Amino acid sequence: MTTLPRPLRPFRHRDYRLLVASMASSLFATGVWLLAVVYQVIALGGGPSELSLVVAAGSVGLLASVLVGGIAADRLPRRALLIGVESVRVVAAGAAAALSLTGSLQLWHLAVASLVLGSAEGFYFPAYSALLPTLLPADELLAANGVEGTLRPVVMQALGPALAGVLVSAFLPGTAIVAAAVANVVALLPLLVMRVAPVAARADGPASVLADLREGFGYFLRTGWLFATLAFASVLVLLIIGPIEVLVPFAVRDQTGSGPGGYAFVLASYGVGGVVGSVAASAGRLPRRYLTWMILLWGAGSLPLVVLGVTDLLWVMGAAAFVVGVTGAAATVIWGTLLQRRVPPHLLGRVSSLDFFVSLALMPISMALAGPVGDALGLPLTFLLAGAIPVFLSIAAILGWRLHRDEIAHPLDVPAEVSAAPAS
């Protein structure tokens, strides 16, 4: 088994295989939901502003729960947290589907479902991130993050929306929401049959939740590379997430004349790019200039968004989305591995939750503003600002926090000391 290609080596471990199977189904459910909710809002007579409200509700739920989720990931069995998350998702998506199919669904119902799903996500990410290093040796974490980075665009941005587009076009948006709920049920099964139930990363430490939270924030504030990256990411999210999530479906409709199938094509193109970026980033070792590459991939990689606001050709939109997918996924693989390699294990759950919280703190504002700003400025100018400003921010982050010096002082382009992993 040691002769397996580097990106496939984590699959030697049984519990890791089960975790990946669960994650894949969960991501598929999210992909189905993302497209289904867009056309459910439209079916209810809503436009960009109404969709902004529904999507922003999910962001609010995420931000309200993610810090508590990080503390829970450092104190409680992580597998149990993941089981709880999937159970909540089944209930939320199932209720929305039932209301839709019976003709009782209203806009506020969708907002509540989005709020609940976002809250569940706030517990999922820290638990998954903290669980992974307990299942695998340290030198396989880059490959494992590459697997996640590959699955996310394939199943969440491509396969999930593709199925949702077919269901919405052939039947009703509620049918696609049913598919999302079923996929969450499937995600539960591998978690239930894992042989090893990982325990909390530590048994001692601060006695209270507030003390845990202070310890996590203290590490974040005094760690330069972490603070710099998350400060950059928070502004990046403000600039690009709203236009991507809220305005792209309307750009597809208004500029190309396409419907759900066209929007699904753009999402699928983004997903394929994500696969390419994830595989490329995980095929070898971390680059020597890992912080510089990561920030530039995120910043300069946003530039193709400008194209989405000006082209009337669907394939050009797809090509631009592909490039954004490549760069974003490659940077994310580097980032996930960087956290798992440089953050102390007993802080990883909280730091992962802070990663989510700080980098996405402005996401609800971005979602809420995208519709009104798009209406006021027009799609071309909105996408121009979203694509161009991050380029300058990335350069400022690298030079302002001297990340190019930090990465040389803390090299990660050498084999890591192999940590103990459960027998497979």
State the DSSP code for 4.
Answer: S
Range from 34-38, 75-79, 230-234 carrying the lowest mean pLDDT: 75-79
| Percentage with pLDDT > 70 across the chain | 92
d(CA 25, CA 28): 5
Distances (CA, A) of 24 to 149, 157, 336: 11, 12, 17
pLDDT beyond 50 at 201? no
pLDDT of residue 285: 80
Tokens 């600039």 found at: 239
Residue 324 lies inside a defined structural domain of this protein: yes
Tokens 């009703």 correspond to: 172
- Amino acid (one-letter) located at 72: A
In a domain, 279, yes or no: yes
Question: Is residue 233 a contact partner of residue 364, using CB atoms and an 8 Å limit?
Answer: no
Residue 388's CATH number: 1.20.1250.20
User: pLDDT tens digits for 250-292?
Assistant: 999 999 999 888 988 898 888 788 889 988 888 878 888 999 9
The mean pLDDT of 352-360, rounded to a whole number, is: 79
Domain range for 168 is 14-191+208-409
C-beta separation of 354 from 126 below 8 A: no
What value does the mean pLDDT take over residues 125-145?
A: 84
Confidence band for 55, pLDDT divided at 50, 70 and 90: confident
Number of domains in the chain: 1
1 falls within a domain: no
Q: How many CB atoms lie within 10 A of CB 117?
A: 25
Strands (E), 14-167: none
Does residue 196 form part of some domain? no
Q: Is residue 201 a part of any domain in this protein?
A: no
Kindly state the percentage of the chain with pLDDT values over 90: 38
pTM recorded for the entire structure: 0.76
Considering Cα of 54, then 60, then 66, then 69, what sign does the dihedral take?
negative
**Inside any domain, residue 82:** yes
Asked, for residue 2, whether it belongs to a domain, the answer is no
pLDDT higher than 50, residue 153: yes
Contact 55, 34 (CB under 8 A): no
Give the C-alpha separation, 73 to 64, whole Å.
Answer: 16
**Is position 5 within any domain?**
no
